[in-house]
Amino acid sequence: MPVAGAISVRLDEEALRALRQLEAGGLTQSEAIRSSLVHEAARMRARQALAAEVAALEADEADQAEMRAVASLMEQFRATE
């Protein structure tokens, strides 16, 4: 994989421990840092996609009406117990 550029990073104790753990697993420092950046970016994209899905569901009036109907039905079942 071609390297686009080099950066300098100051690690706190927690990050240094995490880096050492990744190195103990067989990764070089560069591999560990690149992998961590890629994985964190993927997690961020997944969280953003989930947030967008939640916003879309909250804006969906038909879905909101269905949730209210289900909640009402559940309350009726609870009342008959």
Q: 22-79 pLDDT, tens per residue?
A: 999 999 999 999 999 999 999 999 999 999 999 999 999 999 999 999 999 999 999 8
pLDDT in tens, 6-19: 889 999 999 999 99
> Whole-angstrom Cα distance, residue 19 to residue 46?
24
- Whether the CB-CB separation of 9 and 33 falls below 8 Å is answered with yes
User: How far is the C-alpha of 21 from the C-alpha of 43, rounded, in Å?
Assistant: 20
Cα dist from 19 to 1, 2, 16, 30, 76, whole Å: 21, 22, 5, 10, 55
Domain-wise residue ranges, the chain: 13-79
